[in-house]
Amino acid sequence: FLLQVLAASTVMGLALWLSADRLDWIALHAHPWQRIAFALAWVLAAAVLYFAVLHLCGLRLRQFLRRTPSV
């Protein structure tokens, strides 16, 4: 489990690091709504990438939805 999460986190972090220079955040200071939209898009893309890598590593989200029997 730890290796799966580490792999997904590494890929996500690498993708965000490589994409950090693609957009001039300082120039977008005059356009706050556009800046917010870009930030939300990057966060959404990072989340999709993270869960896609987890899926490729064999971790299924359904495993977390199993309910434990009540005692």
Q: What tens-digit pLDDT sequence spans the chain (71 residues)?
A: 889 999 999 999 999 998 888 888 888 888 889 989 998 999 999 999 999 999 999 988 777 676 666 66
Rounded-to-10 torsion of CA 60, 65, 66, 71: 150
| Contact criterion met (CB below 8 Å) for 56 and 8 | no
